[in-house]
């Protein structure tokens, strides 16, 4: 597949070119600093930063084509000097052009598309699917969690020629958003990891969250296969009134009989999990470099996608064993005073926080444990109960010490107290700095081999606590 030229881009979106229309372009950036050479730069207007102010900077960094809004130039190219080896494309709306070009490139690639969404685990699942499919195919995926109205078209437009499968994570904050992403992505396969309570403050009910997530399945072609978690009641419930082909995966089959089954979970290394997996009589053992049943379920989703594309379980498990995850998810770090840190600071909700607490207790193997837990956002009316539920789980697991960070996280402490957790093992803090001080004091008096979990919503910047507790080399 050849690269686009500036003229090709202009024809697709019916824009007006100023400068050299014969230049070849490949890939795109929306941040001028990320240009490396040959890209399109979309001068997206924003509330705080306007991309039109960075057109010349993008050209200097190597971008070939800048796409800007005609209204900003009042129809006069004399007010803006375009370098000889660059081009400026004037359009009515940069954002609409961004979407239209992503649609066009997705179709020109001719790649199959796997869409991934869910309340928990979608980024991890996306990474696992890419690892499994890469055993046989040329795969491209979102970087980190570039899963919204900007991140997804950016991912598509940066997919290189020759990509055979696109694995696209799709996030949402309201009804219609996944549908809009699917208009660009045109998914062939859909994966829903689960339907939880994240974004409850926006959608008001779990039923509406389920409706929003299910837009991915509704966007599939008639023969498009949906991969569904057999342990998730809402997901299974939604399949009952849908005519698409479904393939279930799970460990227990609580709500549906899984075709792909994981069993005999046991620890593997510092944070890994070994488990047996079965699909249509094929059996093998997987070594997953992540802990916990929740990650095994995500791995089963990835293996399920692999089977759709003809990747054997054995080959898929090799891919899982070589998994490279997006940053800030269940990272093991060496801490001060001989502690082991589990830094899981990318994001948090009640389900993921409870899962991480279980991992903490499992991997500590009887050693002392410390949970440093920050606020969880986007829970709406379930904020209080969600935090208290985490506190109850912490008490039931017998975590040695609890440090909460932030006003809302005080509800975690309250939930722990209600479950009988001792008051003198709770430290309530309002800032990260205060939490670090309390943690250092605990570690200094607890002896070596304490295991520490650090977790909270992205906005809490809990990674700053991790950095302060890491052992300096």
If phi > 0 it is left, if psi is from -120 to 50 it is alpha, else beta; for residue 351 that is alpha
Residue written as token pair 């799709």 = 170
121 is in an annotated binding site: yes
Was 123 annotated as part of a binding site?
yes
DSSP one-letter string for 57-125 = HHHHHT--EEEEEGGGGTT-GGGSPPPTT-EEEEES-HHHHHHHHHHHHHHHHT-EEEEEE-SSSHHHH
Does residue 147 have a known ligand-binding role?
A: no
Note whether 175 and 205 are within 8 A (CB). no
Nearest to 56 by CA among 44, 66, 46: 66
Q: Kindly write down the DSSP assignment for every residue of 416-464, as one continuous string.
A: HHHTT--GGGEEEESSHHHHHHHHHHHHHHH-S--EEEEE--GGG-THH
As a dihedral over the C-alpha atoms of residue 105, residue 150, residue 173, residue 213, rounded to 10 degrees, the angle is: 20
Check whether 32 is labelled as a binding-site residue: no
Give the Cα separation of 368 and 165 in Å (integer). Answer: 45
Q: Annotation-wise, does 120 bind a ligand?
A: yes
How far, rounded to the nearest angstrom, does the alpha carbon of residue 437 sit from its chain's CA centroid? 31
Contact 25, 3 (CB under 8 A): yes
Reported in sequence order, the residue ranges of 213-270 that DSSP labels E, i.e. its strands, are 225-229, 246-250, 260-268
119 annotated to bind ligand: yes
CB atoms within 10 A of CB 13: 18
User: Alpha-carbon distance 90 to 71, whole Å?
Assistant: 9
Annotation-wise, does 262 bind a ligand?
no
Annotated binding site: 118-124
Annotated binding site for ATP: 118-124
């Amino acid at each position: 597949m050849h690269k686009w030229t500036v003229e090709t881009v202009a024809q697709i979106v019916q824009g007006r070119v100023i400068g050299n229309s014969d230049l070849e372009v490949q890939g795109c950036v929306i941040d001028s600093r990320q240009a490396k050479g040959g890209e399109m730069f979309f001068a997206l207007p924003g509330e705080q930063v306007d991309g039109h102010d960075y057109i010349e900077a993008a050209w200097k960094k190597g971008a070939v084509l800048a796409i800007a809004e005609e209204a900003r130039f009042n129809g006069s190219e004399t007010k803006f000097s375009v370098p000889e080896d660059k081009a400026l494309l004037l359009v009515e709306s940069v954002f609409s052009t961004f979407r239209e070009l992503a649609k066009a490139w997705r179709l020109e690639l001719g790649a199959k598309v796997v869409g991934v969404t869910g309340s928990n685990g979608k980024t991890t699942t996306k990474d696992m699917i890419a690892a499994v499919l890469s055993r046989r195919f040329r795969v491209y995926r979102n970087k980190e969690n570039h899963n919204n109205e900007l991140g997804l078209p950016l991912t598509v437009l940066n997919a290189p020629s020759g990509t055979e499968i696109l694995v696209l994570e799709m996030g949402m904050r309201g009804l219609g958003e996944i549908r809009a992403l699917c208009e660009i992505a045109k998914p062939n396969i859909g994966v829903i990891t689960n339907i939880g309570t994240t974004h409850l403050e926006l959608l008001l009910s779990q039923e509406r969250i389920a409706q929003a997530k299910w837009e991915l399945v509704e966007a599939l072609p008639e023969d498009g296969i949906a991969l569904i978690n057999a342990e998730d009641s809402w997901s299974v419930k939604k399949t009952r009134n849908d005519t698409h082909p479904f393939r279930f995966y799970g460990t227990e089959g609580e709500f549906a009989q899984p075709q792909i089954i994981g069993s005999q979970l046991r620890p593997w290394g510092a944070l890994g999990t070994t488990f047996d997996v079965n699909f249509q009589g094929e059996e093998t053992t997987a070594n997953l470099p992540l802990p916990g049943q929740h990650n095994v379920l995500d791995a089963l989703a990835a293996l399920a996608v692999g089977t759709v594309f003809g990747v054997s379980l054995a080959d898929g498990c090799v891919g899982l064993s070589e998994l490279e995850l997006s940053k800030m998810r269940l990272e093991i770090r060496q801490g001060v005073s001989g502690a082991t840190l589990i830094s899981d600071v990318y994001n948090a909700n009640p389900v993921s926080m409870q899962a991480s607490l279980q991992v903490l207790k499992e991997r500590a193997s009887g050693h002392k444990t410390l949970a440093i837990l920050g606020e969880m956002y986007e829970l709406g009316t379930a904020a209080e109960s969600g935090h208290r539920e985490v506190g109850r789980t912490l008490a039931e697991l017998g975590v040695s010490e609890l440090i909460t960070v932030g006003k809302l996280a005080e509800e975690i402490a309250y939930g722990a107290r209600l479950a009988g957790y001792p008051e003198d093992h709770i430290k309530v803090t309002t800032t990260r700095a205060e939490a670090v001080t309390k943690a250092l004091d605990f570690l200094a008096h607890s002896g070596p081999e304490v295991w520490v979990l650090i977790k909270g919503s992205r906005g809490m910047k809990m990674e700053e606590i991790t950095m302060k507790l890491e052992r300096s080399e």
